Every structure is written in C-alpha cells, then in structure tokens.
Amino acid sequence: MLDILYLDDHLVAINKPSGLLVHRSDIDRHETRFVLQLLRNQLGQRVYPVHRLDKPTSGVLVFALSSEIASQIADQWRERVIDKRYLAIVRGYMPEYVHLDYAMSPPIDKYAKQPVIKPPQEAITDFRLLATVELDVEIDKYPQSRYSLVEAMPKTGRKHQIRRHLKHLSHPIICDARYGKGRHSRYFRDHLNAGRLLLHAWQLHMTHPVTQQPLVFTAPLDNVWWSLVQRFQWQAQLPELLAATLPEDNKERTSV
C-alpha cells in the first residue's frame, strides 16, 4: 500500500518510496510495478500525474483525479508558483547558502537509436546548509570524510536538476549511481546500511485548484534516512524540520 498524505475529490498526494518508477519507462524495461498503477488500484479510480520524481528519489508526489484538475495543476507548475523542498546528503561541507543559476542540456537518452544533444535550458536551484558531520574514516584521499545535510529548492524543473547541480558544485549526492562518487556511496551502502539515493522530496507547497486554499504536503523520512539522522546526531540541530519528517513508526499521523 502506498502511503497517502492527502486525499480529496480532486487530488491525492503520496509519499513515494525510493526505487519505484512513477510510470512505465525505458529507464527500466524489466520493472513491473509503477506508482501510477499501484495508486490507481489502491483508490479504485484513474489518476493523472502532474509531476515526476526519479526512480531512486523518495517523497511527495501529487496526482490529479481528473484531466481537468491535472491541467489546472500543470498551470501552477508552468507559472512556477509551486514550491518544492528536498533533503539531500552530499559529499563535503557545503556553503551556508548557494543560489545556482546554471543552464543544463537535457540528459542524453541512451536508449534512443540516434541520440540528440539539445541546447542548454535554464536551471535554477537554491541550496541551504542544514547540518554537517565528519567521520573518522579514510574513504578518498583524506584521513577523515565530511558530509552535509542540505535543503534544495529548485526554481525550475529540469530532469535530474538537483543531482546535476550538486555534481557541478562538487558536492554530489551520496549513493547517486549516475552523478555521485562511488567510494563514498559504497561506504554508506556497506557500513551504514544506506544503499539508496539520499535525496528526499520532503515538502511541497501549492494552491488547491478548486478551493484556492494553500496546501502543504510533508513526506516522512524512511528508516534509512532516519537511521542516518540519528547516527550523525542531526535531530538535535534540526528539531522543527525533523519533527515534520519522522517516519510513521516514530509519530502519529497529522492531517494536512
């Protein structure tokens, strides 16, 4: 069963688990389980995607329950009035704040018979440092290894935008198989029981397309994330943010 964060007659928000595709795709031709299908079966009605999350990314994912509502929500995306916030654990110590305006070409489709290189598109992301940790272990070329917990706030919606922007800043996300650093990812997988991409869409702000009321959806952290937060002792530094993202076995459900 998918974790439903919000449901009414017009839209539904879920907490997508890591490792699940939103819909059928050439990314993984052998995959047989998709959010779109699972949610349709769970609700007993058709659902309409209005945005995406990468397969390894977890967090808030919104669907409309009719094509008309999907169109209205899509207008909000185009007008850039929907606010998305992500948590990421990255290599190194990030600056306190980074505003990155760095255009990117769409990733090349490796499945295309004749791949096309498209021109760069505007891509803007704000990053805020939340916490840091230094591990007394030599993974790369230094005797200690440093990591940061950051909040990413994309202002545009390019494919892999946050992952590529953090790579550009030389602070790749841990366990990012495409843009990350293999040595650090393997250490987290083998020694910290964290083998998933450490990127989580923790909160989404939007306007209800019918009532025009503000909506805020918050997705709890999964157990992999929460175990790292505890191990790195970040919960004391971030009480308000983490109180809203505790796994469900650590708090009671609160309504949106």
Question: What ranges do the domains of the chain cover?
Answer: 3-247
- CATH code, residues 3-247: 3.30.2350.10
Catalytic residue among 54, 75, 136, 140: 54
| CB-CB neighbours of 207 under 10 Å | 15
User: Three-class SS of residue 219?
Assistant: coil
Q: Of 172, 13, 5, 21, which is closest to residue 94 (Cα–Cα)?
A: 172
pLDDT value of residue 245: 72
Inter-residue contact 57 to 14 (CB < 8 Å): no
Which residues in the chain land under pLDDT 50? 250-256
pLDDT value of residue 113: 61
List pLDDT tens digits, range 188-225.
Answer: 999 999 999 999 999 999 999 999 999 999 999 999 99
Radius of gyration of the chain (CA): 18
54 is catalytic: yes
